[in-house]
A and B are shown apart, each in its own frame.
Chain A
Amino acid sequence: MSDDLLRFAPIALPIAGAVLGMLLEALLRKPKVAMWLTVASLAGSIVSVFGGATGLAGYGSELYTLDAAGGILTAGASAFALLALFLSVNYLKPQDDEFPGEIPILLALVPAGIGIIAGARHAMMIFLGIELLSVPLYALVALRRANAAAVEGAVKYFLLGAFAAGFITFGMSLLFASEHSLDLDALRAAAGRSPVAAAGTALFLAGLLFKLSAAPFHFWTPDAYEGAATPVTALMASTTKIGAVAGLLKITPLLPASAWPALAAIALLSIAAGNFGALLQDRVKRILAYSSVAHAGTILLALAAGLSAADPALAADLHSAASRASVYYLIAYGASAFGAFGIIAILERGGDRFRTIGDFRGLSRRQPAAAWLLTFFLLSLGGIPPTGGFWAKYFVFATAVQAGQLWIAVAGIILSVVGVAYYLRIVATCFMASEDAELGAPPQGKVPLPALLATLAAGVGVLVLGFAPAELLGLIGR
């Protein structure tokens, strides 16, 4: 019995935390309780993943079993949700006169959804996981419902999300119609046999690519990121991709191996759309949003490579390489993106001053620590060596080269150099503004401690990944 409890712990704990939190919130009217409860449940989820919740068989294991990579993804999502909670603790207080108790509940449900997707061995589980992941996020984006931008962002995110849900369900129905089963292992075995199944997978894929914010489906990302409050954006930047990639890792094998060029095309399109979109941007959150589109493209590059081998033996190798690369990328990119948004959240402290690049001018003189930390995160996003971002990019392109797609790798990596240009622009504004240029508005009030801790935690994560990639690689590999 204890095995089953342990097996479900990574997703059960956050859900339990949310429900209990809601009850206590209703009864005791003290938001602090819900917050600490969520913290405990998320921490419990992380601990349970490393405590051996992965790879166990048991009740309902044909529907839900966490493997090593899935475990890392769930733990990552829970960690990022935890950090987002810390980030938003007193971010919103000045705005909405009392801290809405529901935020911890919503924050707890997001990693639960991702855990479900990560462990899913059944298509419906993936769909439900996506829904459980998305609904709280819609609410979180629209948190400051008095702010027109937030509501607009949430509406766009929701409507396109519902549209994607329509595609996913119809895709699943086609899969069921042709294979009469939604069990992923059965479907993988039948991959490529019937066109209807392939079309169904493609539709399912479209929904997931929306969640990943890949190229043609990415237009919601800048608006949602800009509309939402910065801690929520930090959460979205780091976790939505984990959920999407967890789903993609399970759905792409259903596609016939010969379909990899489609994925590769979307990957390159995303990198280009993301990088070129951000090049002339003036508002920092939109820049980071477009950069997340580019990073989505990079991950897709690895997944496309993972798909491309015809004979089964090489296919298995490539798929494991692709999943290793993409999981590493998610954790490294997630930490860097979270860190960058964390810095912006600390600087904003609830206000809306640090919106455009102009506000960052001469930051290195006013807030040197913030400037250097932001630079570190941006370098990691750009994939410059001493940071985790470098190894992430390295492993992705390693998978592409292993799959023999040299020219696609070269194209992808040249486009990513364009990406570095706009990170440098932000860094240049912070450090290299001319002496006499008047500086952006100074942030008022002192630095909120929990937010600082969260951002520093992300920084340490990126640094450790930068200098010692072996640890995480080992964890994923096992």
Chain B
Amino acid sequence: MTFFGAPVYFLAVALFALGIFGFLTRRNAIVVLMSVELMLNAANLTFLAAARGTAHVHEASAYAIFIILVAAAEAAVGLALVLALFRIKQSTDLDVASDLKG
């Protein structure tokens, strides 16, 4: 049964779920950022899989490009923040950043 029917969407959903799992369980800032990248890639995959062979091919790839660019912007800001946090707390473990509470 062709990969490009349901299975491609399974893959996209799997990637999305793994991204969420990574975000919810890992306490390391870098790995959390990577999980977000995974989720964004899942979205790209769905866009492209949906537009395969249709007239919206170009539209889908444009959207994919936009998402990649935004991912890049997010990654940059994210890493800058991680660096700032490291400078203050000497660790990238997110539980260290839990002083504001209540």
Contact = CB atoms under 8 A, between A and B. Distances in A.
Contacts, number: 125
Interface string A148-179: 11011111101100110111011011101100
Nearest to A148: B88
B72 to A, nearest CB: 11
The size class of the interface chain A forms with chain B is 35 or more
A143 B12 CA distance: 37
Contacts of A148: 88-89, 99
Contacts of B46: 170, 173-174, 176-177
B63 A162 contact: no
Contacts of B33: 159, 162
Contacts of A127: 66, 70
Main secondary structure of the interface of A (DSSP, over half): helix
A399 B15 CA distance: 41
Given A128-B66, A177-B9, A158 B51 contact: no
A162 B78 contact: yes
B50 A170 contact: no
Contacts of B84: 142, 145, 151, 154-155
Given A138-B77, A158-B78, A181-B56, A165 B100 contact: no
A350 B54 CA distance: 58
Interface of B: 9, 12, 16, 19-20, 23, 29, 32-33, 36, 39-40, 42-44, 46-47, 49-51, 54, 56, 60, 63, 66-67, 70, 73-74, 77-78, 81-82, 84-85, 87-89, 94, 97-102
18 contacts: A138-B77, A138-B81, A146-B88, A148-B99, A151-B97, A156-B97, A159-B78, A162-B33, A163-B36, A166-B43, A167-B39, A169-B40, A170-B16, A173-B46, A173-B50, A176-B46, A176-B56, A180-B50
Interface of A: 124, 127-128, 131, 135, 138-139, 142, 145-146, 148-149, 151-156, 158-159, 162-163, 165-167, 169-170, 172-174, 176-177, 180-182, 222-223, 226-227, 281, 283, 286
The 7 closest A-B pairs by CB, nearest first: A166-B39, A177-B50, A173-B46, A169-B43, A223-B100, A152-B97, A173-B43
